Amino acid sequence: MKPYIFITRKIPENLLTELYEVAEVKMWDHEDVPVPNDVLKKELEKADALFSLVSDPIRSEQLTNCPNLKVIANMAVGYDNIDVKLATSKGIVVCHTPDVLTDTTADLTFALLLATARRIPEATRYISNDEWNQWSPYLLAGTDVHHKTIGIVGMGRIGEAVARRAKGFDMNILYHNRSRKEEAEQKIGAKYCTFEELLEQSDYVVCLAPLTPETKELFDEQAFQQMKSSAIFINASRGGLVKEPALLEALQKGIIKGAGLDVFAEEPIRATHPLVQLPNVVAIPHIGSATVETRDAMAKMTVQNITRYLKGEQPIAAVNLKELGV
């Protein structure tokens, strides 16, 4: 019998050819509706492989009864939606899609920074609401980006790509990371500093760190208090890195100047979310890697991660092979 693969969201059929060649494939046939938890649990009872998205929780509840499951392939660079430790204890390989989305996500991160700094969404609404009656010198005046200081928290592949873009704007580049990136320091001119130093010195604080137990709510009341009152905070990583009530208070009280947010603690958010209601916030719906080219590449890598493992080959990108002794 062929292995059985379940896909948790509608993916273009032309990208799944390799899966159909090696397995029986079932796909949740709704592009914009998450697979219900009861359906997912039922599918995992018989699946040999799971093609999942970052919005799918794959934790103890979902993994209670999955006797045949050999591989979970997440169509994302992050995998905080998966209980990797539990999966490893069950002998399940967890895969992801690094590299292919690096530049696309960096583009979006810098676009979010620019849009927030120059108040682009506000300006768009100003015209669409028919409020533009005359020109004035400080009409929707924003903040310069060039020659300012950017502080990047999380200097992984995406962080380095953002730093390269910042260099093109003649920005002073600071970064904080678990380890020094000496090559990036030499090539880009980035300067390593402590988290506290970065917060105190940066005009733009950009969060690109992974969500881990150590980084959960890293940006709390104290962190925002340490920033300049003119600072703009950008989060294109995970919402869980931010204590949202603390960010809301910092924005309402003028502790920091503004925020550009691609991610939130609970997603999706509604228009009534208090952060969305603030004029100094640019909020977008977790679209960091959302270009057709990159999403196609991510889907293809996810397919290859599954097919390679089912064929007895090493996946392109897996996060727990060492722990599994593979």
Instruction: Determine the average pLDDT of the residues in 53-65.
Output: 95
Tokens of 299: 């889907």
Q: How confident is the model at residue 32 (pLDDT cuts 50, 70, 90)?
A: confident
Look at residue 314 and tell me whether its pLDDT is greater than 80: yes
- 152 with 236, same domain: the answer is yes
Q: Give first-to-last CA distance, the chain, whole Å.
A: 25
Task: Please report the pLDDT score of residue 1 as a whole number.
Answer: 87
- DSSP conformation class of 58: B
- DSSP conformation class of 34: P
Q: How confident is the model at residue 247 (pLDDT cuts 50, 70, 90)?
A: very high
Look at residue 30 and tell me whether its pLDDT is greater than 90: no
Instruction: Specify the long-range contacts of residues 248-253, CB closer than 8 Å, at least 24 apart.
Output: 248/274, 248/275, 248/278, 249/221, 249/224, 250/221, 250/224, 250/225, 251/275, 251/278, 251/280, 251/281, 252/278
Which value, in Å, is the radius of gyration of the alpha carbons in the chain? 21
pTM for the whole structure: 0.93
As annotated, the active-site residues are: 238, 267, 286
Look at residue 219 and tell me whether its pLDDT is greater than 80: yes
Q: How confident is the model at residue 33 (pLDDT cuts 50, 70, 90)?
A: confident
C-alpha dihedral over 231, 236, 242, 245, to 10 degrees? 70
In this structure, are residues 204 and 151 in contact, taking their beta carbons and an 8 Å threshold? yes
pLDDT tens profile 265-310? 999 999 999 999 999 999 999 999 999 999 999 999 999 999 999 9
Domain count, the chain: 2
Range of the domain at 308: 4-100+292-324
Instruction: Determine the average pLDDT of the residues in 63-74.
Output: 97
- 191 with 176, same domain: the answer is yes
> What are the start-end ranges of the H helices in the chain?
17-22, 37-44, 84-89, 102-117, 120-128, 157-168, 182-188, 195-201, 221-226, 244-252, 292-310, 321-324
- 31 with 178, same domain: the answer is no
Task: Please report the pLDDT score of residue 223 as a whole number.
Answer: 98
Instruction: Determine the average pLDDT of the residues in 78-103.
Output: 96
Look at residue 108 and tell me whether its pLDDT is greater than 80: yes
Count of CB atoms within 10 A of residue 9's CB? 19
Percent of the chain residues past pLDDT 70, beyond the cut:
100
- 269 with 198, same domain: the answer is yes
Task: Please report the pLDDT score of residue 31 as a whole number.
Answer: 77
- 308 with 245, same domain: the answer is no
Instruction: Determine the average pLDDT of the residues in 181-205.
Output: 97
- 250 with 302, same domain: the answer is no
- 164 with 311, same domain: the answer is no
What is the rounded average pLDDT for all residues in the chain? 96
- 315 with 271, same domain: the answer is no
pLDDT tens profile 138-183? 999 999 999 999 999 999 999 999 999 999 999 999 999 999 999 9
Burial per residue of 135-172, b for 16 or more beta-carbon CB atoms within 10 angstroms, e otherwise: eeeeeeebbebeebbbbbbbbbbbbbbbbbbbbebebb
- 313 with 224, same domain: the answer is no
- 87 with 116, same domain: the answer is no
What's the longest Cα–Cα distance across the chain?
Answer: 72
Task: Please report the pLDDT score of residue 164 as a whole number.
Answer: 98
- 264 with 310, same domain: the answer is no
Q: How confident is the model at residue 77 (pLDDT cuts 50, 70, 90)?
A: very high
Task: Please report the pLDDT score of residue 273 as a whole number.
Answer: 97
Tokens of 20: 């159909």
- Give the C-alpha distances (Å, rounded to integers) separating 164 from 30, 103, 160: 38, 10, 6
Task: Please report the pLDDT score of residue 38 as a whole number.
Answer: 95
Count of CB atoms within 10 A of residue 323's CB? 14
- 151 with 9, same domain: the answer is no
CATH code at position 135: 3.40.50.720
